[in-house]
Amino acid sequence: MIFKKLEAVFGYKKFRPLQEEIINRTIAGKDSLVLMPTGGGKSMCFQIPALCLEGITIVVSPLISLMKDQVQALQSNGVKASFFNSSLSSFEEKEVIQDAINGQTKILYLSPEKLIAVKNSWLQQLTISLVAIDEAHCVSMWGHDFRKEYTQLNTFRKSLAHVPFIALTATADKSTRVDIVSQLALEDSKLFISSFDRKNISIDVRGNVTKKDKLQQIVNFINSKPNESGIIYCLSRKNTEELSAHLNSNGIESHCYHAGMDGQHRAQVQTDFINDISKIIVATIAFGMGIDKSNVRWVIHSNLPKNLEGYYQEIGRAGRDGLASETLLYYSMRDVVLYRQFAADSANGEMQIDKLNRMLQFSQAKSCRRKILLSYFGEFLANNCNNCDACSNPPQIFDATIIAQKALSVTARMNESESSVMAVNVLRGSQNAKVYDKEYHKLKTYGIGKDISFYDWNDYFVQLTNLGALEIAYNESSALKITPFGWSILKEGKSIQLSKPIAESEKKAKKTKSKKEPKQKVNKALFEELRALRTKLAQTEKVPPYIIFSDKSLEDMVTIRPITTSKFMQVSGVGQNKLAKYGSQFMALIKEFELNNANTKTTTKLVSYNSYIGGLTVDEIAIERKLKPSTILVHLVECYLDGLAIDLMVFVTEEILVLVKDAYVKCEQPITMKPIFDLLDEQIQYNDIRVALAILKFNKRI
């Protein structure tokens, strides 16, 4: 049953890893805790059981925008779904309640506040078959997005002792997982952890980049991706406004989003982004929670995220449709200092600082970033990912003892009271006023490193800190301190190896060179026509375009070129409801496109087909088109398999069908026709075998 629901309702041919096991366990009435990455298919784990079980499924979610998106998506697939949250008017609330009580709703989304408010009133009149707790990490104080309302859900759980509960989250470390099970009072729950490896997302991290260079790099990055949707995350409200204004002044339309904006304006910005009216959002981390937009092609962090959980969740908003997407992270030690100041004033500041340090280690690493990221979530990656900047540009190791001694010496001569920025300025012989005010120009180390660039010196100081030769005293304006290991290098000549820094221009060149050619080039013209039709339908129905079809579905249409219902059902994301609602319009567009673009393989098939049904024989078509008769026959066979009306039995007899079927079985379903040809002692020609196989397969006789 679950496979029929998957294909008929959602238009997918197979489950993702773990989904089938989770769904079967839920239908069997057992509790589960599910960890899946953003875009990994969590929703399917409770939506399929909801359609299989009697009664109504309750979904608890803190995100109003996500509720709306998921309900629209379900309704688009023909599922009776509603949401109940603070965005509804009193009339709308009554309508939702009545539909639920009357059994007209299969899946009902509620905010935790609303659930707690109504759990002892009309909710008790419902026959609840399943409860799903989305964003379950919100229940734990150890989670990165703790919410008090979630802690009251355990009483609701205890009131439904025989109803299965499924808790789902994209980000939860070990302590958070234990806390979720305890706080929600899950019984004999099983933990499911899906792979967090989003292979379609590339990772690029850049540190020690000046503000001017960073702004130019961001402009260049966006200009190289016209018409693509993207999100830029900034540390503060002021940063979002400044960066958005900078982009707009460079001819790149963007909108900022932060909590200080008027609520109505902020909601409009988000709505325009979801509906593809605007492409680029510059936002604080408040943006994106609950947005189910599948065609975000890139995410940029203009500042260092404060922990790996948040970073992973934010980059996970790119490429939810499974298509190639890019992420770019900029960081500086100034970000670290600010976060440390914030953490010092919070109740769990020590934990926040520990997580910040892990985030910094990830950013400063020289090895495969995906390995580091996945290991944080308890997943081991055997091989390098070859889709991050560290893999694209493996470091070159060299003996850097002299360089290290220069760095340590200038630190010592400044009495371990200055940051790395001042140390680099002194080493490079800078004529900065602060250098002269403090008389650092009189030091013996002044100017001894002028042959090394500012960027490279910064990189060396970061490496020396990571390797334990230096420490940063954040409580002393990030002053550098020499460790015992550092003194052994400076005083005893202990050797040390560092990696050569790679300039951003060189990184870009290497990355471009190492990129593989895509296996199949998407026909942009057809894709854009399909996208235009999707936008038109979305505007008519007042839903986001990806609710109609995702970019992945459109690319499938470009590849498959479906002009029959059987072919259209092969497109990812096409279920019975979407076939009925949109199939005829999209197939008509594709057919017209094919007829207007006679150079494609699909079109040449249709030309032969149209000539044949027009009354010409295979030989006559071959002469007219200057092709071989066997080629024309191949065209007709392919059109037959596409579902077009054509009688292939005029080319073969029933006796040939029986012989070919028998040979096909004896040859154990060979990929090529030669084994069948040989087994039949070369008495049946290849053309006859081809036609016979087409008839047998299309009619499911083999």
List, for residues 25-53, the tens digit of each pLDDT value.
Answer: 999 999 999 999 877 789 999 999 999 99
CB 408 within 8 A of CB 482: yes
Q: Are residues 160 and 295 in the same domain?
A: no
User: CA of 275: how far to CAs of 467, 539, 557, 692, in Å?
Assistant: 48, 8, 21, 49
> Where a domain ends, among 193, 219, 246?
193
Structure-token pair, residue 410: 């200038």
Percent of residues, the chain, with pLDDT higher than 70: 94
Which phi and psi angles does 531 have, rounded to 5°? -65, -40
Q: Are residues 237 and 290 in the same domain?
A: yes
CB 362 within 8 A of CB 308: yes
Q: Can you give the pLDDT at residue 364?
A: 86
Q: Can you give the pLDDT at residue 609?
A: 87
Q: Are residues 306 and 365 in the same domain?
A: yes
Q: Over 561-618, what HEC string results?
A: CCCCHHHHCCCCCCCHHHHHHHHHHHHHHHHHHHHHCCCCHHHHHHHHHHHHHCCCCH
CB 504 within 8 A of CB 217: yes
Q: Can you give the pLDDT at residue 513?
A: 43
Cα angle 64, 299, 364; round to 5 = 120
Q: Can you give the pLDDT at residue 370?
A: 92
User: CA of 248: how far to CAs of 253, 255, 536, in Å?
Assistant: 5, 9, 27
Amino acid at 667: C
Instruction: Establish if 127 belongs to a structural domain.
Output: yes
Neighbours of 12 (CB within 10 A): 17
Containing H/E element for 507? Answer: helix 504-514
Q: Can you give the pLDDT at residue 691?
A: 94
DSSP letter at 517 equals P
Q: Are residues 63 and 169 in the same domain?
A: yes
What SS3 class is residue 136?
A: helix
Amino acid at 299: V
Distance (Å, whole) CA 658 – CA 655: 5
Neighbours of 632 (CB within 10 A): 27
Instruction: Establish if 673 belongs to a structural domain.
Output: no
Instruction: Establish if 311 belongs to a structural domain.
Output: yes
Distance (Å, whole) CA 374 – CA 198: 10
> Where a domain ends, among 193, 220, 242?
193
CA-wise closest residue to 142 among 294, 373, 355, 412:
355
Which phi and psi angles does 553 have, rounded to 5°? -65, -40
Distance (Å, whole) CA 319 – CA 253: 21
Q: Are residues 494 and 570 in the same domain?
A: no
pLDDT tens, position by position, 212-257? 999 999 999 999 998 899 999 999 999 999 999 999 999 999 999 9
Instruction: Establish if 478 belongs to a structural domain.
Output: yes
pLDDT tens, position by position, 588-605? 999 888 777 755 555 678
CB 202 within 8 A of CB 388: yes
Where do the H-state alpha helices sit in 105-236?
112-118, 153-159, 174-183, 211-223
Cα angle 348, 353, 355; round to 5 = 100
Instruction: Establish if 629 belongs to a structural domain.
Output: no
CA-wise closest residue to 180 among 209, 147, 213:
147
Q: Can you give the pLDDT at residue 128?
A: 96
CB 571 within 8 A of CB 580: no
Strand duo 325-331 + 190-193: pairing = unpaired
> Where a domain ends, among 373, 392, 411?
392
Q: Are residues 61 and 111 in the same domain?
A: yes
Strand duo 397-399 + 497-499: pairing = antiparallel
Distance (Å, whole) CA 684 – CA 664: 13
Q: Are residues 456 and 485 in the same domain?
A: yes
* Complete edge-to-edge strand list for the sheet that includes strand 165-169: 81-84, 107-110, 56-60, 128-133, 165-169, 32-35, 190-193
Distance (Å, whole) CA 342 – CA 340: 5
Q: Are residues 78 and 188 in the same domain?
A: yes
Contacts of 64 (CB under 8 A, 6+ apart): 83, 85, 86, 87, 111, 290
The CATH number covering residue 235 comes to: 3.40.50.300
- In the predicted model, residues of the chain with pLDDT beneath 50 are 509-522
Determine whether 195 is exposed, middle or buried from the number of CB atoms within 10 Å of its CB (0-12, 13-18, 19+).
middle
Q: Over 275-324, what HEC string results?
A: CCCCCEEEECCCCCCCCCCCCEEEEEECCCCCCHHHHHHHHCCCCCCCCC
Host domain of residue 559? 517-594
Q: Can you give the pLDDT at residue 510?
A: 47
CA-wise closest residue to 579 among 561, 565, 558:
565
Structure-token pair, residue 279: 């492409």
Q: Are residues 19 and 128 in the same domain?
A: yes
pLDDT tens, position by position, 117-133? 999 999 999 999 999 99
Which phi and psi angles does 463 have, rounded to 5°? -65, -40
Distance (Å, whole) CA 409 – CA 490: 7
Q: Which residues of 531-549 are buried (b: 16+ CB within 10 A; e: fewer)?
A: bebbeebbeeeebbbbbbb
Instruction: Establish if 302 belongs to a structural domain.
Output: yes
Amino acid at 69: D
Longest CA pairwise span in the chain (Å) = 102
The CATH number covering residue 525 comes to: 1.10.150.80
**Residue 108 C-alpha from the chain's centroid:** 26
Q: Which residues of 52-73 are buried (b: 16+ CB within 10 A; e: fewer)?
A: bbeebbbbbbbbbbbbbbbbbb
Instruction: Establish if 626 belongs to a structural domain.
Output: no
Q: Are residues 185 and 138 in the same domain?
A: yes
Q: Are residues 258 and 381 in the same domain?
A: yes
Q: Which residues pair with 497 in a beta bridge?
A: 399
Neighbours of 425 (CB within 10 A): 22
Q: Are residues 247 and 174 in the same domain?
A: no
Instruction: Establish if 655 belongs to a structural domain.
Output: no
Q: How many domains does the chain have?
A: 4
Structure-token pair, residue 625: 């088109």
- Alpha carbons within 13 angstroms on the beta-carbon side of residue 485 total 12
